[in-house]
Amino acid sequence: MSDKAKIELAVGTFVIIGLAALLMLALKVSNLSGFTGGDNYELKANFENIGGLKVRAPVMMAGVKIGEVKGIGLDMDTFEAHVTLSISSKYASLPKDSSASIFTSGLLGEQYIAMDAGGDEAALKNGDNIVLSQSAMVLEQVLGRFLFSKAAGDE
């Protein structure tokens, strides 16, 4: 094999590895490589504001991914966001009084749902509603309140 062929083979291999790395990065950022749980059950939660929460966003508990957001809609009776969660059946013993909060992670600002376990003996079942929920913190609202309180305090 000539030197030119070896160089071309090395460059081709490097390009293929680079493209594979870019594909993996794109899948990770877009959350397409996400939750691949087999047997799941659904929970529902209502939030006043979900911010930038998206379908397939992770559902985490104690830093461990236990599921993902399956659907988002608007409840026309309460005018709140209605979020459907798909939870792996491995975590079927979540207490009935568990709470769900929307948080932001990372530099890209990906939002996720964090579950906090309650102390109830009974467990959440397929189709149950999570009663305790905390909406996303919207940066514009927080800054507006801060600036308004500062302006009111200077008078």
Question: Which pLDDT tens digit goes with each residue over 80-137?
Answer: 999 999 999 888 889 999 999 998 886 667 889 999 998 888 888 898 999 888 887 7
Identify the pLDDT of residue 108: 65
Determine the pLDDT at residue 86: 94
Q: Compare 34 and 77 and report the one with higher pLDDT.
A: 77
The span from the first CA to the last CA of the chain, in angstroms, equals: 83
Range of the domain at 10: 1-30
> Within a domain: residue 96?
yes
Q: Is residue 150 part of a domain?
A: no
* Average pLDDT value over all residues in the chain: 85
Per-residue pLDDT band at 24 (split at 50, 70, 90): confident
pLDDT at 37 over 60: no
Q: How far apart, in whole angstroms, are the C-alpha atoms of residue 123 and residue 57?
A: 23
CB atoms within 10 A of CB 60: 17
Whether 62 and 104 map to the same domain: the answer is: yes
Hey, is 75 helix, strand or coil? strand
- Rounded to two decimals, the pTM is 0.68
- My answer on whether 61 and 113 are in the same domain is yes
